[in-house]
Every structure is written in structure tokens, then in C-alpha cells.
Amino acid sequence: MTTAASASNTVSGKRKPAEKGPARKSRQKQPPSIPERLKRLFTSLCAQIDGGHFHNAIKTCDKVLGLDSRDADALQTKLFLLLQTEQYNPALELIDSQEDAAKYAFEKAYTLYRLQRESEASQKLEEFKVQKGTDRGIIHLEAQMASDRYQDYRQGDYQAAVDLYNQLLDTAEPNSEEQSDILTNLQASQQHLDFINAGFLQSLDSLPSYISAEIESAPPPQITFSTLPATLPSAIIGSHADDQQPKPAAKKTRKSRIPPGVIPGVTPPPDPERWLKKSERSTFQQAKRRKGAGGGGATQGAANPDNSTQITSTGAISHTPKSGGSKGKKRR
């Protein structure tokens, strides 16, 4: 009967109960395809670059290259981001790992220049000029390389840098960011060139006469110990040996430690008898005497000498109790 009833329900068109559990989730949520994932990653990449989050953008480029290792846009973007964040060694490794490394010859020349490998950078730049000709990017890099050789003034070709920057300034768009950068670099190169040609002479002439005379009359530098003869008098050797002996370090005086909340000269000093028992302090004895000295007050009758406190021969204090009995009745 039960089988027949269930069969009749199925035939009559009733809906089957919905499936539950992981089987339903696997049917409803399918992983997105690779083109959809790339589209989402590129959307995130554009937002990260617009927001200036370059380090996160590099990670997004790595995710794109993990899905498609030959994506030219992701490679170019990652190389730009590495140069923008001054990660020159990873940028050079990325260029060298490509099969068409010649495509990134200009970026490699700039990376070598930033790594202070100027001879290799100049060679790579000359090869790129032969292949592609001269454009504004090459002129910018040549001028920067010529003006930034500050480590050795004999190599700093500031005149060539000034000429290149003037050439770029003539063709730059007015009131642009490029024109502002060119003017800044041109001014710096011109200042270096003026100082090397005549500026240092003017600086020497502007010195006071006594300083110039002192420099001219200064004795030659003293002979160092390395150029002295090997045989020196024993007295000199002994004196140098004494000077070279280590001297005992002077002991540092310990600074006074002031407790928190204490102001020197304002806070009263602590009680010198604070370490004694209260019964042994002088203030306790004085208070006790003040209590016992109150005999001038009014009393009811005279004191009985028999009931007074007595001191025994051993120094102990003994007290004689009062006589017993009740109070007497008042007389009429």
C-alpha cells in the first residue's frame, strides 16, 4: 500500500522534497571560470592602483600571473609597480626571467642605473638607442645619469646634463608636471656647473684675510707613525707603551633616588625614630608625661597613699589595690 501511494503521488504531479546538504550546495555554487576570475582581479587591480595601494596591487598581479603566466598587461603593470616602490632587485629579476627580455631594455637600463651599476646602464641605453632611436624617455634618463654622478666630480658631466635638460624644456608642454621637473633638475645641474667652473674661486675670495693667511701659512701635515723609521728611541717607545695601556674606568657617582611625590626643600623630612617602637619613641614618653601631669584638676577627696602605684626594688611597677567594701551612705 505504501509503495502504491508514493507512486500515485509522483504520477499525480506533486513536487519532490528539496535536496539538503552538500549535494545541493555543489549544484548551486560552481566555481567561476578563469576569464571571470581574471576580470574580477583586473577590476581590483585598477582600484588599488587608483587608490595608491601599490603593494597590494603587486599581490593582485601575482594572482593574475598565477592564472595566466603570459599575460602581458599583468607583467607590464607589475614591473611598473616594482619600479614605483623602488624594489629594483625584484624588478631586474622579473625582466631577466622573461623570454623577450629585449622588450624591456629601457626599464632594465633604468633599473641598473638605480642600482648604481652605471656602466651597465649606459651600455644598455646605447643598445636601446640603436634599436628604437632617441625619444624623450631616453633623453630624460641620459640627463639624469649625467647629473647624478656626484660621487666623483671628474665624472660628473654637468654641461651635458644642462644641454639635455634645455633640449627637453624646449619641447615640453607648458605648465605641465614634466616642465616643472625639468626646471628643477636644470637649476640643480646649472648650480653644480657654476660652482665647479667659478663658484669655488669666489668662495675662496670671499673669505676673511686672516683665514686666507692662516690657510696659506699652515704647516704641512705631520708625518704619521706608519712612515717613521723602525728604530725609535726606547724612551719614546716606553712613553707610547704607557699611553696605550688601558686606564681604569672612573666610578660613576650614584645619583640620589628621590621617592615619587617628594619635593626637595618642600616636603618635610621623615621622622628619624620611625624605625623604633611607639613605646620607645620620645614623643610617646612626652605624651605620657603630659597625661600624668594633670594633677591640678578638681578631685573628689584626697588620694590614698596606700592605693598609689609603687616602684619595687627590681624596677617593676606594682599597684596596690583599693580596699574592698561598698561606698558609705551619705550622712544626714
Q: Is the dihedral of CA 186, 141, 133, 173 positive or negative?
A: negative
Domain match, 38 and 81 both: yes
Q: Where is average pLDDT lowest: 107-116, 128-137, 265-274?
A: 128-137
What are the angstrom distances between the C-alpha of 4 and each of 1, 15, 17, 18? 5, 17, 18, 22
Answer whether residue 186 is part of any domain.
Answer: yes
My answer on whether 81 and 40 are in the same domain is yes
Helices 118-132, 105-114: inter-axial angle, 10-degree rounding: 160
Question: 94 and 128 share a domain?
Answer: yes
293 is a domain residue: no
40/72 same-domain check: yes
pLDDT at 157 over 90: no
Residue 113 sits in which domain range?
A: 87-133
Question: What pLDDT is stored for residue 77 in this prediction?
Answer: 94
80, 91: one domain: no
Q: Is residue 156 part of a domain?
A: yes
Structurally, the chain folds into a number of domains equal to: 3
Q: 182 lies in a domain? A: yes
Measured distance CA(183)–CA(177) in Å, rounded: 10
Check whether residue 165 and residue 128 sit in a common domain: no
Does residue 301 lie within any of the structural domains? no
Q: Any idea of the CA torsion for 207, 212, 215, 218, to the nearest 10 degrees?
A: -150
What pLDDT is attached to residue 327?
Answer: 53
Q: Are residues 94 and 122 in the same domain?
A: yes
| 122 within domain boundaries | yes
CA atoms of 106 and 113, how far apart (whole Å): 11
Q: What is the pLDDT of residues 59-85, one digit of tens each?
A: 999 999 999 988 999 999 999 999 999
Report the C-alpha gap between 263 and 256 in whole angstroms. Answer: 13
Answer whether residue 192 is part of any domain. Answer: yes
Lowest mean pLDDT among 33-42, 78-87, 115-124, 169-178: 169-178
CA distances from 329 to 272, 301, 308, 325, 326 (A): 56, 15, 25, 12, 9
Is the pLDDT higher at 122 or at 248? Answer: 122
Tell me the mean pLDDT in the region 155-175.
Answer: 75
- Do 91 and 78 share a structural domain? no
More confident residue, 157 or 37: 37
Highest mean pLDDT: which range of 92-106, 145-159, 176-190: 92-106
105 occurs within a structural domain = yes
CA 322, distance to chain mean position in Å, is: 86
Lowest mean pLDDT among 27-31, 230-234, 287-291: 230-234
